[in-house]
Amino acid sequence: MNKLDTIDYIVFFVYFIIVSGYGIWIYRRKTGHDGTIEGDSKDYFLAEGSLTWWAIGSSLIASNISAEQFVGMSGSGFKMGLAIATYEWMAAITLIVVAVFFIPVYLKNHIFTMPQFLSQRYNGTVAMIMAIFWLALYIVVNLTSILYLGAIAISSIAGLNLEFCLYALAAFAILITLGGMKVIGFTDVIQVFFLILGGLATTYLALNLVAENSGQTGVLNGFNLMTSQAGDHFEMIFDQKNPNFIDLPGLTVLLGGMWIVNLNYWGCNQYITQRALGADLPTARAGILFAAFLKLLMPVIVVLPGIAAYVLYKQDVFGAAEFGQGADLNPDRAYPVLLNILPPGLKGLSFAALTAAVVASLAGKANSIATIFTLDVYKKVINPEASEKTLVNVGKIAVIVAMIMGVLIAPHLGIDKKGGFQYIQEYTGFVSPGIFAMFILGFFWKKTTSTAALFATIGGFLLSVMFKFLPNYADLSFLAPFGFAVPNAEGVYEIPFLDRMGFVFVICVAAMVIISLYETSRGVKTNGLEVDRSMFKTTRSFAIGAMTIMVILTTLYTVYW
């Protein structure tokens, strides 16, 4: 039944009171000791020097995990199985790379926003173009999808009006966001606690239900039954005959485009890197390593329930009433369906976990939007002489305006028809190869010029569009023997999404090298960053933690290859 019992509402409101009360306490403590801090923009946007390693790691995960993971990734678990976990597990390796190589460059060069990096490394034109682009992308794609998917999930679980859920989520997120990054960072610790506790409870009961339906008990028996009854859902690497190869094309998830997806997201994304940019290097690295360990756990929370729902569907525990049938079968119903069978109390806990994930992501995204608008647009173009207090106030107004825009336009984008995970990947994937090429060469090759960066920005997007629509005009079957093309339902050979990203990235890098060499040979000067090898040395404890993650991942991929 799609409603919450009294005990569920009690559990949820306890969560709401704890998070809100803790946030207010953090905010008052921050402003109580020194009244001038309230007007400090770096403290507001970055929580400079305030976040601990566990707060940074928790905030990274809380901001990353949202409705598209709980709903979209569980749905993908229902449809294709454990293979979708590659987005989470490859992210763990990526976080280590970002901690070792990216964060030191940002901190050494006192970079606090991504447009600031582009301005400092290239020029103001590149920075302003990308600032406007990121604002549009964050509002129109990310903020709207998080809001709408979260509202749909909460509405379907609690039986509440969709529009009410949309406004309630936005209001709750604004309440957290207006306190600044310090409030977001520390409240995210509580959000992650609810997220993991509620998520694990859902997984436990889903696996136990699989066991009970076969006359057994216990999660281990449930897991063993899942592996035996849905063995094809426990393969990490697909071959070309698998119908899901178009989404996860074989070894590309280990050696190709998946790296671009993750490195761009975790290393070149204001929304994510902002959590670490206000800390010193050891603290930032420790926080990112903690997030990498939490990433290993995420598929247990968001993928296994989807596989359990698939097994229960095959066992006729669920049917057309829950998931639809034939062409109308909707895998994204997996997580909401499971939550609706939880006993009272636990349903409230899992409901709070889902809400925590959505609110934390909304707060983090809104804060990043406010940071970019205030520091890279308002301060540079509109009011260069703005005081610290004015910048903080503008940031707060930007949070409210962005959230209102998200609420107003989210219902009109067809997000629920595309599927949230696919919606975000489709639109960010058109630009991420070019952006990542621009960042990676800007970091580590001092000859990279501003013209080359502009080519990566604009040319990368155009190349992505070209590869997307190329199958309509050319026969790409010659790529099939190499694993770079598979036929769709109409028999037309398409390049898998991740492979398209890889191709565009390679072309962008090659073109940037050629353009840069040509320009520098004619005397064009570049703005290289301060980089030296000593920046990339890590502590022994970090190295041990990183090696532990590598061993765990190697074992997982070996067992479930």
Residues 435-477: pLDDT tens digits? 899 999 998 898 999 999 999 988 998 998 898 888 888 888 8
Q: From residue 529, how far is each of 230, 266, 441, 517 by CA, in Å?
A: 51, 20, 11, 18
Look at residue 246 and tell me whether its pLDDT is greater than 70.
yes
Question: For residue 180, what pLDDT is reported?
Answer: 66
Find where tokens 């770079």 sit. Answer: 484
Look at residue 212 and tell me whether its pLDDT is greater than 60.
yes
CA angle 227, 231, 235 (to 5 degrees): 105
Look at residue 521 and tell me whether its pLDDT is greater than 50.
yes
Q: Is the pLDDT higher at 299 or at 328?
A: 299
Residues 305-344: pLDDT tens digits? 999 988 888 887 777 767 766 666 777 778 878 887 778 8
pLDDT bracket for residue 49 (50, 70, 90): low
Look at residue 285 and tell me whether its pLDDT is greater than 90.
yes
3 state DSSP class of 553: helix
Residues 528-544: pLDDT tens digits? 778 888 888 999 999 99
Sequence-distant (6+) residues with CB within 8 A of 310 are 77, 78, 79, 81, 230, 233, 331, 334
CB-based contact 161:263 (threshold 8 Å):
no
Sequence-distant (6+) residues with CB within 8 A of 181 are 44, 45, 46, 47, 51, 274, 275, 278, 367
Look at residue 63 and tell me whether its pLDDT is greater than 80.
no
- Number of CB atoms found within 10 A of residue 227's CB: 14
Q: From residue 64, how far is each of 69, 272, 414 by CA, in Å?
A: 9, 8, 22
Sequence-distant (6+) residues with CB within 8 A of 412 are none
Q: Is the pLDDT higher at 47 or at 248?
A: 248
Q: CB burial class (10 A; 0-12, 13-18, 19+) of residue 414?
A: exposed
Look at residue 36 and tell me whether its pLDDT is greater than 50.
no
Residues 146-205: pLDDT tens digits? 888 788 778 877 778 888 888 888 888 887 777 666 666 667 777 778 778 878 888 888
Q: Is the dihedral of CA 425, 426, 428, 432 positive or negative?
A: positive
Mean pLDDT computed over 249-270: 85
Nearest CA among 301, 347, 341 for reference residue 195 = 301
Q: From residue 472, how far is each of 276, 417, 428, 466, 508 by CA, in Å?
A: 44, 23, 22, 10, 23
Question: For residue 33, what pLDDT is reported?
Answer: 42
Question: For residue 299, what pLDDT is reported?
Answer: 92
CB-based contact 104:536 (threshold 8 Å):
yes
pLDDT bracket for residue 511 (50, 70, 90): very high
Q: Is the pLDDT higher at 495 or at 318?
A: 495
CB-based contact 250:483 (threshold 8 Å):
yes
Most confident region among 136-140, 273-277, 408-412, 434-438 by mean pLDDT: 434-438
Question: Among 81-85, 122-126, 414-418, 549-553, which stretch is predicted with the lowest mean pLDDT?
Answer: 414-418
CATH (residue range 6-13+54-420): 1.20.1730.10
Q: How far apart are CA 521 and CA 531, in angstroms?
A: 23
Nearest CA among 133, 105, 123, 135 for reference residue 452 = 123
Mean pLDDT computed over 127-135: 84
Share of the chain above pLDDT 70, in %: 89
Domain assignments of the chain as residue spans, ordered by start: 6-13+54-420, 430-530
pLDDT bracket for residue 2 (50, 70, 90): low
Token pair for residue 510?
């090659």
Nearest CA among 248, 229, 238, 216 for reference residue 309 = 229
pLDDT bracket for residue 106 (50, 70, 90): confident
Cα end-to-end span (Å), the chain? 38
Question: For residue 185, what pLDDT is reported?
Answer: 65
Q: Is the pLDDT higher at 72 or at 91?
A: 91
Task: Give, to the nearest 10 degrees, the angle between helix 162-177 and helix 346-372.
Answer: 60
Question: For residue 38, what pLDDT is reported?
Answer: 45
pLDDT bracket for residue 34 (50, 70, 90): very low
pLDDT bracket for residue 37 (50, 70, 90): very low
